[in-house]
């Protein structure tokens, strides 16, 4: 049972991160430091090396998995927008439900989960889809925060998004793949650095849970956490029934719908001073809830 084994592995890493904070072996500042290392070094190294070694000229398969991975988020977001326009839900509800959907932890949680569950094939799928879902999630979440707080700094934040190392690494990897550029000593060193990304990402999640856990936060975010953990898998399942997708890709896409909300969403919430308690609770609630959900999805599929 690869998924059960993977979930147990991830649970142990989360517990170790939690324990490191509980015993005060690592401080709250260490959480930021390790997160920065993962985000600015380990993940860009992993994405660049993996994408550069992919055959991106296989447009049919690559475009299909990218399109199908984006489609459920697009369908749900448009549906919520319609409900907001016709005034069936208010502004805050619209923003919070959209935030729960648009920015999943495909990079932090997804990479570790799919590599542990399915090895190289799972990692390749996760790298490919998160290369698009991650940046799109960042952009959409920033627009939603701007909309919720009535600010007008879109251009500044978009420039920051596309200037960060992860986006640059994805773009550079695509260029190397399409132009068939192979610099083995560079790729080997970056692959070594990138191998630390998956386990450290999950370890940091455990530290974040310790830093931010509260029953009040979980209570306030309960509806939004349940919305992501139920609506996204259901919509994904229905769409997969209508689409002609290979079994291994179908299994990956369905499981991907059970990935939790990204930690970065809580960071954005603090920057915008918008419902940071609820969003931290959403991150924790979906992270813990993803364990039974992913286990269930595996057997449903």
Report which secondary-structure segment, H or E, holds 167.
helix 165-178
For residue 145, what pLDDT is reported?
Answer: 87
Output the pLDDT for position 153: 57
C-alpha–C-alpha distance, residues 38 and 264, integer Å? 12
Give the residue from 242, 255, 7, 35 showing the smallest Cα distance to 126: 255
**pLDDT of 135:** 78
End-to-end CA distance of the chain: 14
How far apart are the C-alpha atoms of 199 and 116, rounded to whole Å? 10
Say how many residues make up the chain: 301
The answer to whether residue 106 is domain-embedded is yes
> Is 299 domain-assigned?
no
* 20, 131 contact by CB (below 8 A): no
Within the chain, what is the greatest distance between any pair of CA atoms? 57
Burial label, 13 (beta-carbon count in 10 A; 0-12, 13-18, 19+): buried
Which parts of the chain sit beneath pLDDT 70? 1, 56-62, 151-163
Asked if the structure places residue 257 within a domain, the reply is no
Going by the DSSP 8-state scheme, the letter that residue 182 receives in this structure is -
Residue-wise pLDDT for 206-257, tens only, equals 999 999 888 898 999 999 999 999 999 999 999 998 887 788 888 889 999 9
Cα(11)–Cα(52) distance, integer angstroms: 31
Q: How many folded domains does the chain comprise? A: 1
Q: Which domain holds residue 40?
A: 2-215
In a domain, 264, yes or no: no
pLDDT for position 150: 77
Residue 222 in domain:
no
How far apart, in whole angstroms, are the C-alpha atoms of residue 45 and residue 39? 10
Residue 93 pLDDT: 93
Q: Does residue 278 form part of some domain?
A: no
Q: Is residue 269 one of the residues assigned to a domain?
A: no
Q: What is the pLDDT of residue 60?
A: 59
pTM attached to this predicted model: 0.85
Give backbone dihedrals phi and psi of 140, rounded to 5 degrees, phi first: -65, -40
pLDDT digits (tens, 9 = 90+) for 126-140: 888 887 887 788 788
Assess contact for 232 and 76: CB atoms under 8 A: yes
Domain assignment present for residue 295? The answer is no
């Amino acid at each position: 049972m690869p998924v059960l084994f993977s979930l147990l592995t991830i649970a142990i890493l989360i517990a170790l991160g939690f324990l490191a904070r509980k015993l005060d072996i690592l401080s709250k500042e260490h959480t930021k430091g390790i997160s920065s290392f993962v985000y600015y070094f380990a993940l860009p190294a992993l994405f660049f090396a993996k994408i550069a070694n992919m055959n991106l000229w296989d447009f049919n398969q690559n475009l299909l998995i990218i399109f199908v991975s984006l489609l459920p988020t697009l369908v749900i977001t448009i549906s919520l927008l319609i409900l907001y326009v016709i005034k069936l839900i208010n502004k805050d509800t619209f923003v919070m439900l959209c935030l729960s959907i648009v920015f999943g932890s495909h990079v932090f949680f997804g990479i570790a989960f799919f590599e542990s569950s399915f090895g190289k094939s799972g990692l390749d799928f996760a790298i490919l889809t998160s290369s698009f879902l991650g940046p799109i999630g960042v952009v959409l979440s920033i627009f939603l925060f701007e909309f919720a707080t009535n600010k007008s700094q879109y251009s500044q934040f978009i420039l920051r998004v596309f200037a960060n190392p992860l986006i640059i690494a994805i773009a550079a990897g695509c260029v190397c793949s399409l132009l068939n550029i192979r610099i083995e000593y560079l790729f080997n060193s970056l692959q070594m650095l990138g191998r630390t990304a998956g386990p450290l990402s999950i370890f940091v999640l455990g530290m974040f849970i310790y830093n931010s856990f509260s029953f009040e936060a979980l209570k306030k975010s309960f509806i939004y956490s349940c919305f992501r953990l139920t609506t996204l898998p259901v919509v994904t399942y229905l769409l997969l029934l209508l689409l002609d997708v290979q079994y291994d890709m179908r299994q990956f896409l369905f499981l991907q719908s059970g990935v939790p909300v990204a930690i970065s969403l809580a960071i954005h919430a603090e920057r915008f001073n918008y419902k940071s308690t609820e969003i931290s609770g959403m991150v924790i609630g979906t992270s813990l809830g993803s364990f039974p959900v992913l286990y269930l999805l595996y057997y449903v599929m």
